[in-house]
Amino acid sequence: MKTYLAQRPLDDAQSRGDCRVFVQSESGIHPLHHVVHHSPAGFEWGYGGSGPADLALSILADFFDEQPTEQQLARGKCRCWSLHQPFKWAFIAPAPREGFRLTGAEIAAWLVAQEAER
């Protein structure tokens, strides 16, 4: 099962930027691929803006093993797209500024709850 690890530099006390997110799995650890749609500048968390939206989109794309194209995103033709805004508000916007750890099990449980609401 995958775990997503978000961190920022220790000297990033006031400014936003240089946020890094890694994917840890049985095969090792690697940077999360940025699915660029809302924020070409990169990832963010701790509020509800464009950087957090791209982070939510990118985590879900990785979790679902999707590699959406711009056309698929524009047409809403991928699972990560349809869920990324509620996911952002559930996990990314309230995340602590210092960083966070999010497990695949937590995402899976959230997905089950989302399905139950429909």
DSSP 40: T
111 C-beta neighbours (distance < 10 Å), count: 16
Q: Collapsing DSSP states into helix, strand and coil, what is residue 65?
A: coil
DSSP 66: -
pLDDT single digits (tens) 15-71: 555 789 999 999 999 999 999 988 888 899 999 999 999 999 999 999 999 999 988
Q: What is d(CA 1, CA 11) in angstroms, rounded to the nearest whole number?
A: 31
The range of the structural domain enclosing residue 14 comes to 3-117
Q: What is d(CA 101, CA 5) in angstroms, rounded to the nearest whole number?
A: 5
Whether the Cβ atoms of residue 117 and residue 13 lie closer than 8 Å to each other: no
Q: What is d(CA 91, CA 95) in angstroms, rounded to the nearest whole number?
A: 6
pLDDT single digits (tens) 56-115: 999 999 999 999 998 898 888 899 999 999 999 999 999 999 999 999 999 999 999 998
Output Rg (C-alpha) for the chain, integer angstroms: 14
Total of domains in the chain = 1
